[in-house]
Every structure is written in C-alpha cells, then in structure tokens.
Structure 1
Amino acid sequence: MELLKLVIVDDEPILLQGLLDTYDWESMGFEVVGSAKSGVQALEVIRREQPHVVLTDIRMKQMTGLMVMEEIQKEQISCLFVVLSAYRDFEYAKHACDLGAYAYLLKPIDDEQLRSTMTGAYNTCIKQLRSEEKYESWEQLLLKDDDSFLQVVIQKYVQNLIPEEKITEVFSVLHDLPDNHDFFITVCADIDLVYKITNSLDYEASRYAVIQELEAHVFEHFSYWKFEGEDGNYVFIIKTQQKNAVRQIKTLLEQAKNEEKCPVIASISKPYKGISGIRKSYEEAQKLFGIASASGASAFTIPEDLEEQEDDLNQFSEDREIRIINSIRKNDFVELKETFIDFIYHLPKEEARQCQYLHKVMLRVQFMLQDTYGMNEDMKNQFANYYSNLNHLPAVKAVDVCYKILCRAIELRQEEAGKNETGYFKEYMAEAVAYIEEHLQEEDLSIIATAAHVYLNPVYFGRIFKSTFHMTFKQYLVKKRMDKAKRMLEEGDTSIRTICEEVGISNPSYFSQLFKQYTGKLPSEYKKEYEV
C-alpha cells in the first residue's frame, strides 16, 4: 500500500500523544510525518511537510482548527482536513463543513468510525493523485496492450485531458480510424447514491452484481470501452454500425434493471459519428445521468415554485429545525413528515444554500441523538456516509437522503424503546424532574405542561413517569411541594403564606390540609418542633 502523509494536531499533549501512539496509521494507509500542539505550529508543519491529510482538533487556544483551515486555503495548499469536535461544538463543526472539511469525528473517537473515515480520505487522495498523473510511455503501452491503452486514452479524451489530435494519432497508429459507418453511443450506469448512503453494508456487493448483470445482458452484444466517469459512475462507450442500437440497448438495459432489487440509474446518449462523436456522446450521457440521478425515485422533491418562496432565513433556520428535532424526539412520523415538507418548501432558492441548511439540520439532529441516548452503528454509518457524499449530492437528492435517515432514526428509537422503555426514557425523565423543580412555585404546573416540555404525549409521559418513579405525576408533585415546605419550615421564620407561594399552593387552608395528610401534623405544629 502506498503510504500518504498525515499530520495530527491537538493542543492537549496527552490527547495528541494518544492519537500518535494508539492507532495503527500505516494499516489505514498513512505515515505520520508531523504533529503539532497549536494552530501556529500546525501551519509550520503543514507548510513544511505538505501532507495529504490533516487530522485536527477544532477548539484550540489562540489559533483554532478553523483558522488553520482558512489559512491553508488562502495559501492554496492541497490537503484534506478531518476535524475532531465535542458534542457541544455544533457551530464549530458547521463552520468546518462550510470550509470544506472532508469529515468530522465526535469525541470520544469511535475506533471503527475513525478507520472508516480515514480509509475514505485515503481513497479520495489516491484517486486525486492518480487523476493528476500525466500519461507517459505511449509506445511501451501500445506494444504491451493496445486495447487497454486505447481505453485509457479514450477516458482521458472524453474528460478533456487529451486533445482530439492526440487520440486521432493513436487511432492511426492502431490502424483503427472510425469511418462513416461507425457510431459511438455512451451508456452511464450505477446504483442510486441514496442506496449507498442508506444501505452502506450492501452497496458494494450490489453495485458489483448490477454491473455484472448489465454487461451480461447488454454489452455482450457490442464492442465497448469501460471505465469510471468523473463522478464515479460506470461508463461504457459503445462502437457500433447498427442503426437501431440505441433502442436495442435500452430494451436490454431495462431487462437487466428489472432483475435487480436495488435502484439502478442509467442513461443512454444518441449515436454520434467520428472521433468528436465519442466526446459528444459521453457529455450527453453524463448530463442525462445527472438528471436521472437527481430525479430518481424520491420521497420528496424540491417544489417547482421554490424560487418564488421568500422567508426570513434566520427565523426559518431556527424555528423549523427545532420542529424537526422535536418530532424525532417524540418518535412521531406524521409530524416529521409535515415539518420536513414545510422545511423544504421554505429553503432558500440557491442550491448551495439548500444543501447548507440540510447539512445544518442533520448536524443538529445528530448532536441531539448523541446528547440524549447515543446512536447505534447503523445510525453512525448513515450519518457518516451522508457527510462523506455531500459533494456528490444535488439538493434534490440530499432532501431524499436526509428524510430517509431521519425516519430511520425514529424507527431505531422505537425499537429501542420497546426493549427497555424505562431505561430508554431516563433522559426525558431527568429533564422533566428539572422542569418540575424549576416551576414548583407555579400553581398551574401540570402533567400536560411537563410532557409538552419534553415533547412526549401526556398519557404516554404519565405511564413512563409512573414506571420510573413508582408513583403518579400528581403524587410526585405533592411530595416535592411538601418536602420543600418542610425544609422552609425547618430553616426559620418564613411565614405560611410565603411558603404557600413558594410551593405553588395559594390557599393556606388547602396547603395545611395537604401538609397534615403528608406529615401527620399541621404546619404550625411541625414548625414548633424546630424552634429553639
């Protein structure tokens, strides 16, 4: 394995040493060529070593990881940034993503997620390095394997890396110049990117099976060159003299797609003549593939009248994001769908900003899940795959992906709730208890208000509350009020009326009655026991 250069940055010496010593970076494809204990030192190391990847903490003194990223961008040093952040560093993480960070990892670092992220970063760097390599030794390649060589040359040609004169020269050397009877048709095919994100474990195997199926059905009838397109999809450039080839290819392609359970996206160009027709067919098929990919089977699409929508974006962001988060906390599919539709109908009209707002709400949901009860591996993988594919997702497709992940979050929460209902809702109960303590002096404090505060149905909340505390909400509220009254009576000269106000019972007679039921004594009798 070719080792790439890695620099690690953290201003906490113990954490930095842990990152350097704990992980087998070579097995992930990296050689640690430098480390830094501050942002300033990080800039020096990056400038000197020119690493392929930088793993850096976001929150550092004096110069943050974000400032390092901004400076490196200004200096046009090419490297990928993987950033580390705590659960509460939401704004930092969002800013890092805006600056183009490849990925971010939450502390404490999950070993599998780190390995997956670094593997993805390695593959991205290797692909970029390979694309930047100049093509050399044409004569040797021609002598060794003219067909493979021609395939590489055609790939470079359609991607505008080789001029038409050069590929014409290659065809001439091979004595294979196209004539007036030769047509070129390009087919682009792949699995829908949504499937990759939401079914990551099955994706590679399914993708391989799909391409094998397509080749078996379609391309055994034609001569073709096969390679990966600029966006990672499979490209087949077909050379044929059949006038009805497009119709035949389309029929065979549909047969192959119908045999596969996973969603296949494909496009076919019109036939074009001549060497220039190779590039025309490729560009047309790629454009059609982008349209097909963006408008594939969708749970949601951006409304056509979106450009007419105007809204206060600050209010949009805060209000609608909170509603989406709350619907997930309540495990309410109906409310999630309603709030998500409202969310996309009010997205800003620029596609880049649409993706930015989608990214932001996904970050907030992830932090909410982490802060409450955590996420299982399925959820972690789906969020990680979403973030790593952001650059390849048009806004329309990103909407579908986000909605499916949010629905899956609710499904997993419901599954977990069924296994251990009391334990599952312990965070909710802790928040409810804090709310009761804070509002104990309010006479209208009720189970409805408390349940609404933690975003649960009142009836369901009451059942979970009783299961957790072994008493009803009303009994718990009376107990808390009476315990507070006892403390105030024990502490000194506070009047009964003041105590009534502090415990949310305005009627002194009713308070005295409740107090006697709870302690067996009237407030005045209880107070005398603590008088000196």
Structure 2
Amino acid sequence: MKLLKLVIVDDEPILLQGLLDTYDWADMGFKVVGSAQSGEQAIEVIKETKPHVVLTDIRMKQITGLMVMEEIQKTDMDCMFIVLSAYRDFDYAQQACDLGAFAYLLKPIEDEKLRETMEAAYRTCMEQMEQEARYESWEKLLVKDGTSFQQVVVQNYVRDRLPEEKVEEVFRTLGDMPGNEERFITVYADIDVVYKITDYLDYEAARFALLKRLEEELESRYFCWRADGEETGSAFIVRTTDKEAVGKLKHFLEYIKKEEQSRVIAAISKPYKGIAGIKRSYVEARKLFEIASVSGAGAFTSPEGVELPDQAATAGESGDVDNLIVNAVRRNSEKELKEAFVQFVYGLPHEEEQQRQHLHRMMLKVELMLQASYGLSEDIREKFRGYYDNLGTIGAAKMVDVCYRILCAAIEVRKSDAKQDETRYFKEYMSEAVAYIEEHLRDEELSIVSVASHIYLNPVYFGRVFKNTFHMTFKQYLLQQRMEKAKKLLEEGKGSIGDICEAVGIHNPSYFSHVFKQYTGKLPSEYKKEYEG
C-alpha cells in the first residue's frame, strides 16, 4: 500500500501526543510527516511537508483551524482537511464545511469512526491522484484528435469526473473557449420506460431508433456533444448562438412525440453561458427529465425565473443509520423517518454524553442536507439553533423527542415547498390547458384526459398539478367555467336556453337546468327574466 503524507494539529500537547502514539496510521494508509501545537506552526509544517491530508482541531488560540484552512487555500497546494471539534462548536463545523473540509469528527473521537473517515480520505486522495494521472495521458490525445477528446472531456465533466478548471484548460489548449454570444442547451430524451414492461424488444428497438434520429437531426442543425445517461436517457448538449434555439428544439421534440404516439419523454434546459454552463444545462435537463418521466411530458422545459432545487447529497455510507434518517427527510417520507428514527434510538449508547453526541451528529447531517437542498426555512433554522443551544442542558431522553419533532416539521416544510415548485414548473402547461378548455368549452366530450393529452401530460399527474394550481379539481373548474359562461349569455339575452346549452357543452336541457340551479340557486329561465327589459 502506498502511504500518503499526514500532518496532525492540536494545541493541547497531551491530546496531540495521544493522536500520534495511539493509532496505527500506516494501517490506515498514512505516514505522519509532521505535527503542530498551534495554527501558526501548522501553516509552516504544511507548507514544508506538503501533506495529502491534515487532521486538525478547529478551536485553537490565536490562529484557529479555520484560519489554517483559509491560509493554505491561498497557496497552490491541494491537501485535504479533516477537522476535530467539540459538539458545541457547530458554527465552526459549519464554516469548516463551507471551506471544503472533507469530514468533521466530534471529540472524544470514536476509534471506528476515525478509521472509517481516514480510509475514506485515503480512497478519495488515491482516486484524485489516479484521475490526474489519467488526465495527463489524455493531454497527449489532443495532438491526435482534438474533437473526439473534447467529446470525452465534456462527457466526464458533466458526470463529475473532471473538475471545471481541467475542462477549461482543455478548451483553452484547443483554442475553443466559448464566446460571449454562445450558449449551451441540453436536450435529454428517451422512450418512456413504461413500454419496456409491455414489450421489451419493441422498447429497445424504438429507443435505438429515437436516439439515432435525434443524433442525426440535432447534428445537422447544431454543433453538439452526446452524453448517455447512466441509467436512462441520453443527453445532447447543444452549442449555439441561436437565441430561438430552445423554442425550435421544443417544437422539434413535440413533433417527434406525435410521430411516436406519445412514447417519447424529453426535457430541455434553459441556455447557459461558459464552461460552467455546459454542466449547468446538463444537470437542469436531467432533473427536468425526471419530472417529465413522472408527468409524461413530451418536451418539458423549466419556466423562466424558476430554478430547480439542488438535491446534493450530504450523507455518508448508506448503511449508516444517520443516513437512513437523512434520506427519509430528503424523500419527505414520515413513514421512513419513523422507521429509521426507531432504529436510531435503539442503537444509542447507554452513556448520556455519548447519546448527545450521536444526536448532534445526526442533526448536523440533516441540517447540512436541508441547507444544500431546500426546506431550511427561517422557522426550521431557529428550531435547529434552539436544539443546539439547549443540547447540554436538557436530558438526552427529552432531546430525542425534540429531534423527532424538528425532523417531522422539516418534512412538512419540504412537502409544501415541493408542491409550490411543482406548480411553478408546470405554469406554462396550466396556461395552455386553460386556453384549450376555454376554446373547447362547447365540446361535450371535453375531459381531463383530452386536455392532458393535448398538453402531453399524464392525466393523473395533470389532475394533481391542476388541483394544486387552481385549488379545485378539474371537474369543478370545468363546471365553473361552463356555468359562468351560461350566466353571461343569459344576462346578455343571446339565444335560447337550447342555444346556451350547446354553447357550454351540456346538450341535455334538463340536466343543464338542474346543474345551473345547483350553481346559482335559480333556474335558467328565472335567471334570464331578471335581466330582461
């Protein structure tokens, strides 16, 4: 095993010596190349030894661990920080995370947790070093085939396998940096996976034909790169100066969906600038594709001014009970939260102080996840803050109940936010649906199915979004529109009752009179008399 360089920092001599002597660092993949008892000394040792990893206490006199991190970030050194802190130092821990700390460990350190963290740090460092080595070999390909190499680089970049600065370096080397007028738009498309269940061979054939056609058609219109999804869908990243490209792409995809009899699921990102815009457009299109897959949308786009929430994960290994709780909150599932929380409580140690540490660690992970995604409202933020402030004064048994209540409240906020976001994403679809209803109000066959089909959405999903948008069911809205139009026609004295029945799509006069009286309290003839003469 190749040993990586490690520097250990703690301003308490006894604790520092304990860290140096107690653990078998070589067994975890590290060789201690230096240590320091102050922040100032730590900066000197780090600059001199250039370690791969620094294990440092946060709270130190004069120069804190945070200051050490900030100072090292100013240099060209690329070393990883693992920070140590008491549970009361949450603000320090949060700042350390903001500065890019790899991990945060509570004092007193649990041996198993330290080993897990150091081994994870070792794997991450080795992966980064291997990635850099691969990139150096890739540079040689530039001489042979710049275009193909660029395709490989972009595909790895959008999948988080290459950092932005490396991609910029490739584009700059090729003399192909994006201009001020250029934008990147990602089209993400596939055949609806439902058809895979009903006819696997037909699904695969249709999928192959669709992606081949998209590749040919898009390449004939624009310069683009292709990046196949890891599970479903393929992305086509379009590079263009055409300001109307999003509209043209949407029209093109809706045309294909009609040809394929609604089997195509597709999403289109907004246009973005620069190298960062390549990934931003890809991530947005992929998230929109997930929404489109549920809704059945044919060429789904995000409305202007609406940003998709970042669902960045902050959890560690999936087997960790803490992360079961984090994932339950992330999925807004009270049922999963209850099951995970019961498992968490039964796994708490007997000592009250250790129980507090476990609770603190779990709550910190949840708050960081909320901060990285959505749901951390001011009220929820205050609940977390109150929890941290009282962690050392209230009994652990009471704190368990407090934690559960805070997590349930966070799920409620996230559900509300998600419902609002869903309404915003489908704003354009709802506007088109309302216009279609108004235009076809006299059609007796007008239904939720026909309207959903017109705007390329799944009827069940459309019904849910429609209700969230207008706070009434589709059936209630349709009846309201028909009755309001009937009232207007009666007030204006235009046509007979039979004519009005035809105009509002209720061709049975008896049924129309019955419904109208339920809606207004009067028969159509009575209502009409009030406006005559």
Shorter-chain-normalised TM-score: which range?
0.3 to 0.5
TM-score by length of 1: 0.37
